[in-house]
Structure 1
Amino acid sequence: MAEAQQGPRARYRERTRAEIKEAALRQLADGGVAALALTRIAKDMGLSGPALYRYFAGRDDLLHALIRDAYDDAATAIGAAAARSVTASQSPRERLHALAAAYRAWAVGEPHRYLLIQGAPVPGYVAPADTLDRARAVLGPFLPVFAGGSPGSGVAPVVAQMRAWLDADPSVGGWVAEYAADADTVIAAVALAGALLAWAQLHGSVGLEAAGQFDGMGHGGDTLLDAQAGMLADAFGLE
């Protein structure tokens, strides 16, 4: 609908930008960020180098767009899994397993995109400020899962640091409230600690799998992640 409301020139521009991004993703899938070459993209599309720069100011501008899209797609996948879990009236423990599985499915399904958003894709690259909100959207559905938890002593130091973070940065409280609307400061700190530890567990396991580090080993990435989610649920007393 939005595209139909644009003029022909604007629609052509958006289609061309989309085609450039698709070509860039093919290069990333074939050889990682090191294979990303704007001149080759232009050649493959029948564009001159200067013509391509009318759509993206340079490599970093193209990376900005790819990273934004990756975060948005990951957030959509996690959000859809969260909605299914709520509809199915799953317990917090079951919801954690479902969200972890959705996170892994997206990442291993498109490892080149997952690796693009986990750390700086190239030395010296600085992601645009708006990627923070996009990253928080990926983790947001984990917050209500942990909001009703009863954290054990092993994770208490993390909860305490999250309480201090809430006090120091009001935007963090706003982020929690977006996903766990009734959480007071104590509950918000627990929710943040759970989401933070879930992110660390997910990135550790899924990142290794997406990078091919599990190849030739005797376990499945799904089995490992399921065990990690179970231990995290235990640490927060999730039923």
Structure 2
Amino acid sequence: MTASQTARQLARAELTRAIKASATRQLGETGAAALSLRAVARDLGLASSALYRYFPSRDALLTALIVDAFNAIGAAAEAAAVGPGAPGARWLAACRAVRRWALAHPQEFALVYGSPVPGYQAPPDTVDPATRITRLLAALVLEAHAQGQLCPPAQPLPGPGLITRRVLDPLGGPPAEPYADLVERSLTLWISLVGTVSFELFGHLDAVVTDFDAYFDATVVVAAEAVGLAVPLGE
């Protein structure tokens, strides 16, 4: 690799970051549905034709922003969950990390967990980044189960199962009794996490909750109790 090639690569990477940053600002100002490559080009003082060499369409730019957001929020959760603590404590740490990231990056969170963008179809390469948090959740629940730290439900959900085979087959089918409904229950952890963060971020809890930090932790505990996962507070 020559010095000129390295310089071109660095320049391309820098301009790619600038394009994404401009697009993210536009998300906050006009929303994802109104994202425009021409507006980004004007913001950066570029010709539209130059921008299309980096992102051939609005959807390509949206996909790049979505992948970046999912990877960033997933990385934040994974980093927080590292450590020797009990699975429940590490799950709480991961949830708090997701909330911190969302509050610091509201436009990106809204992009991936807000209203769908009309006309946009997410390509397959968004799936792996999008499932980083759910894979982390599953790993912590399975770890708690393996360590005997998971309590069976007091009232099992009535059958038949509510989760598709597409999800269950890679797991080897439904868990054995008394945890046959564990996958259904575990889904509530992810939904509670994203839902609570969304309600806070979009103002639905304003004038309702007195302490957002404490309320967020409480929702994590309530959701975890439904799974049988002990989440210690005050840590």
Q: Same fold (TM over 0.5)?
A: yes
In the TM superposition, 1:169-180 aligns within 5 A as 169-170=169-170, 173=171
Residue by residue, what CA displacement relative to the aligned partner does 1:107-146 show, whole Å, maximum 9, x if unpaired?
1211110110115542121111121111211222212322
Q: Does 1:196 align with 2:187?
A: yes
Q: What is the percent sequence identity of the aligned residues? A: 36
Quick check: 1:146–1:190 contact (8 Å CA) kept in 2? no
Q: How much does 1:163 deviate?
A: 8.5
In the TM superposition, 1:31-110 aligns within 5 A as 31-83=30-82, 87=83, 89-110=84-105
Deviates more, 1:111-120 or 1:62-71: 111-120
Quick check: 1:158–1:193 contact (8 Å CA) kept in 2? no
**What amino acid is aligned across from residue 35 of structure 2 in structure 1?**
L
Within 1, Cα distance between the matches of 2:223 and 2:113?
A: 22
Q: Does 1:138 align with 2:133?
A: yes
1:210 to 179, 196, 201: 201
Q: Does 1:228 align with 2:203?
A: no
Query: Could you tell me the TM-score, scaled by structure 1's length?
Result: 0.79
Q: How much does 1:36 deviate?
A: 2.5
Q: How much does 1:41 deviate?
A: 1.4
Give me the CA root mean square deviation. 3.0
Quick check: 1:159–1:190 contact (8 Å CA) kept in 2? no
Within 2, Cα distance between the matches of 1:18 and 1:155?
A: 49
Higher helix share: 1
Quick check: 1:145–1:191 contact (8 Å CA) kept in 2? no
2:112 to 110, 113, 117: 117
Within 2, Cα distance between the matches of 1:228 and 1:158?
A: 26
Within 1, Cα distance between the matches of 2:182 and 2:80?
A: 18
Query: Could you tell me the TM-score, scaled by structure 2's length?
Result: 0.80
Unaligned runs of 5+ in 1: 175-183
Within 2, Cα distance between the matches of 1:44 and 1:166?
A: 43
